[in-house]
Each structure stands twice: as C-alpha cells, then as structure tokens.
C-alpha cells in the first residue's frame, strides 16, 4: 500500500473538521446536530432519554451478542435525532414527534430473581442488602449499582422473588442470562412486559436519514390491532421534511 495518502484525503479531513459544527449528516453517514433541547419541557426530555436508551439497546442487540452496557454514543445519537425532528418546523406541526413512547418487552432497569432458598445471601436480600459474597453475582449486581426494590412471597407456588432495580438502563436480558447460568437461581429474568406498542424507526440512507414514528393502538396488551406511520426525512444539511402518513389496520 502507498505510504503517502492522496492529497484529496487530507483535503477531505480538513473540510470535515472545519465543518464539524454544521448541523446535518457528515460524509461518514453519522448524524450530528447542534439543535438545542432548551425549548422542550422536562417531561419530553425524560421521554427522549428513555427512548434513546431503548433504541441504542436495540441497535446494539442487532450487532452484538453479549454486551452489558449500553453505548453512550448511541444513546446521544438517538436523543439528538428525536430533538432535531421534534423541534423542526415539520416536527412541531405533528405532536407524535414529541410524545411517542417506545414499547420494549425488556425492562432495561429491573430484574426479577428467585434465588434458591438454601443459599445464605437470601437473608441479606431480605434485609435489603445486595451483597451475596458470590463474586460472579456481586460483579453483575453490586458493581452495576442494582438495589433491592421489592420482595414478593407467593406461597401458592412456594416462591420468594426479589425485584432488583438499577436507575440507569443496562442490558438486563444479558445479565439475567448470566445470573441464571450461575446455578444460584430458580428464576432470573427481566421484569418485562407482554404485548406490543409504539416505536421509532431510524434508518440511515446514503445522504439522509428516515425517522418513522409508529402510533400503535387497539388492544396492545395482546399485540395492537392498528398502527399509523409518520415518516420524516432528515437531509444532509439538517433540513427535516415530513414524507407522509400511512395507516395499517
């Protein structure tokens, strides 16, 4: 390979760096936005934060098998794109850009665990003490800031379960699988939900992004009967255009 990079490559890097503050999509296909979220209320910001964690988790899950921590870069990307569309002229005209709450079966903050009763750490958990003395469990729970939120006694099935929570989202599905493999638990799973719900789908094209908001409704605990799709195109210069609404019933 030639040891000297072509001149156009240096020019490309120079232009990319000098234009890094420009809102839009760079030549690598990465979205960047300098649009502020200051015009949004705190409830909307919190919703966008939660959505961004779910989208980042889903993104990673498509490409990785065993990650635990959700990428901060991906969360920022998905937060920024929500802000960018919602605060655009096209987005402000359609409330779905500010109130879509993504449904995800996996609860990214909570675990439901039923430890086998003959292990001493169950007494600790009954006293809200997360430490177990088992290194592989403590590395997953204590080191990742889980705490005992609630406990349940289901005498009819002879089960004592504990609901553990972490304030920041994490790949609880992976953690529950790792806990199950330790052999210390009869049940180790995420405190997830059945059914279906709304979603945000972001796709990267050659020189633009499409952002589709799905409004799902009609018996969603059983899977949702209908969905409305609102699609926006984010162009390379940051311009947002509403592409249209489709109804699937």
Q: Which of 15, 82, 88 is nearest to 46 (CA)?
A: 82
Among 209, 247, 204, 217, smallest CA distance to 229 is for 247
Residues 114 and 186 placed together within one structural domain of the fold: yes
Domain that holds residue 127: 110-190
Same domain, 116 and 183: yes
- Looking at 168, 190, 212, the residue that finishes a domain is 190
pLDDT at residue number 11: 34
Q: How far apart are CA 199 and CA 195, in angstroms?
A: 13
159: in domain:
yes
Query: Is 2 within the bounds of a domain?
Result: no
Q: Closest Cα to residue 190, out of 32, 10, 79, 54?
A: 54
Instruction: Say if residue 206 is in the same domain as residue 249.
Output: yes
Question: 19 lies in a domain?
Answer: no
> 166 and 234: one domain?
no
Computed on alpha carbons and rounded to an integer, the radius of gyration of the chain in Å comes to 22
Same domain as 124, residue 85: no
Tell which phi-psi region holds residue 39, choosing left (phi > 0), alpha (psi between -120 and 50) or beta.
alpha
User: Which of 145, 170, 190 is the C-terminal boundary of a domain?
Assistant: 190
How many whole angstroms separate alpha carbon 218 and alpha carbon 94? 21
Cα 109 → chain centroid? 11
Do residues 185 and 133 share a domain?
yes
Please report whether residue 44 resides in a domain.
no
143 and 128 fall within a common domain: yes
Nearest Cα neighbor of 178 from 111, 121, 116 is 111
Please state the domain count of the chain: 2
How many whole angstroms separate alpha carbon 32 and alpha carbon 76? 10
Contact 57, 107 (CB under 8 A): no
- Same-domain pairing of 202 and 134: no
Residues 145 and 162 in one domain: yes
User: pLDDT below 70 — which residues of the chain?
Assistant: 1-30, 155-159, 249
125 lies in the same domain as 184:
yes
Among 154, 169, 190, identify where a domain stops: 190
Rounded Cα distance, 114 and 104, in Å: 23
In terms of domains, do 125 and 183 share one?
yes
Does residue 65 belong to any structural domain of this protein?
yes
Question: What is the distance of C-alpha 165 from the center of its chain?
Answer: 16
Q: What is the pLDDT of residue 156?
A: 57
**53 burial level (CB within 10 Å; 0-12, 13-18, 19+):** buried
In-domain check, residue 220: yes
Judge whether 9 lies within some domain: no
**Is 123 contained in some domain?**
yes
* Whether residues 229 and 167 fall in one domain: no
């Amino acid at each position: 390979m030639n040891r000297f990079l072509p001149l156009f490559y240096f020019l490309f890097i120079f232009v990319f760096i000098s234009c890094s503050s420009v809102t839009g999509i760079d030549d690598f296909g990465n979205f960047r936005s300098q649009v502020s979220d200051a015009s949004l209320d705190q409830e909307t910001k919190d919703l966008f934060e939660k959505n961004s964690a779910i989208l980042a988790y889903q993104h990673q899950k498509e490409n990785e098998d065993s990650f635990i921590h959700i990428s901060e870069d991906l969360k920022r990307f998905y937060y920024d794109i929500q802000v960018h569309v919602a605060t655009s002229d096209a987005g402000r005209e359609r409330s779905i850009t500010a109130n879509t709450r993504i449904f995800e079966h996996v609860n990214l903050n909570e675990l439901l665990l039923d430890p086998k009763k003959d292990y001493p750490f169950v007494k600790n958990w009954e006293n809200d003490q997360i430490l177990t003395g088992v290194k592989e469990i403590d590395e997953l729970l204590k080191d990742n800031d889980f705490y005992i939120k609630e406990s349940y006694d289901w005498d009819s099935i002879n089960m004592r379960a504990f609901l553990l929570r972490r304030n920041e989202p994490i790949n609880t599905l992976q953690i529950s699988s790792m806990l199950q493999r330790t052999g210390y638990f009869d049940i180790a799973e995420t405190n997830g939900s059945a059914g279906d719900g709304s979603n945000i789908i972001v796709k990267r094209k050659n020189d633009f992004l499409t952002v589709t908001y799905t409004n799902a409704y009609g018996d969603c605990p059983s899977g949702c009967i209908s969905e409305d799709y609102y699609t926006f195109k984010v162009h390379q210069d940051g311009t947002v255009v509403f592409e249209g609404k489709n109804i699937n019933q």
